Amino acid sequence: MKKWLIPLVIIAIVIFGIYNWAVGFNNTAVEHEANAKTAWSNVESSYQRRNDLIGNLVKTVKGAADFERNTLTEVIEARAKATSTTIDPSNITPDKLAAFQQAQSGLSSALSRLLVTVERYPELKANQNFLDLQNQLEGTENRINVARDRFNESVNIYDIFTSKFPNKILAGWFGFDEMSRYNAAAGSENAPDIDFDFN
């Protein structure tokens, strides 16, 4: 065997090893990124379900002729803002995520005020349609929480994989940037102050 073939074979083996590592990294990163995007779509789907239920709840509450129109208007406006604030799963930036969270928090706050206000209306509290919608909303809030947790778990897997050395080098070359997580809204660590004094 000629001596010049040995270095050539070694170089070919090294290049083949680097190629396999790069391909393996890219394919795994693509898979983790796709899972995180799907998890985000599930978050949005859960919020969409809540928005649909709120629409039905508003229609039911409107039937109470003397119900506070101001409270209903707040919910309707907050719902409109929440549904108009969306994020492209391939471009989840901290700023966009913060805007999305703020819109959803505004809707949650308006909805809480609506449900507290309903306590003053015995005919609404006894309305089976209203009670069913209220129960579905509670279940949907749990779904939203689960979907957000799963999104954060998927992002965590992706971020750990792309941040470890030496994967971090390839992540930069292939354009795999760190993804943003869904964080609790500011002030959510404090218990809400709800006034049940209706006098």
Residue 186 has pLDDT above 60, yes or no: no
Using 50, 70 and 90 to split pLDDT, how confident is the model at 192? very low
Q: What is the pLDDT of residues 149-164, one digit of tens each?
A: 999 999 999 999 999 8
Residue 95 has pLDDT above 90, yes or no: no
| Domain boundary assignment for the chain | 5-174
Comparing C-alpha atoms, which of 90, 193, 171, 121 is closest to residue 130?
Answer: 121
Using 50, 70 and 90 to split pLDDT, how confident is the model at 31? very high
What DSSP string runs through 86-144? ---GGG--HHHHHHHHHHHHHHHHHHHHHHHHHTT-HHHHT-HHHHHHHHHHHHHHHHH
Residue 197 has pLDDT above 60, yes or no: no
pLDDT for residue 85: 83
Distance CA 131, CA 136 (A): 9
Distance CA 183, CA 187 (A): 11
Terminal-to-terminal C-alpha distance of the chain: 100
Distance CA 190, CA 78 (A): 22
**Tokens coding 112:** 């809480």
Q: What is the pLDDT of residues 48-76, one digit of tens each?
A: 888 888 888 888 777 765 666 777 788 88
5-174 belongs to which homologous superfamily? LemA-like domain (1.20.1440.20)
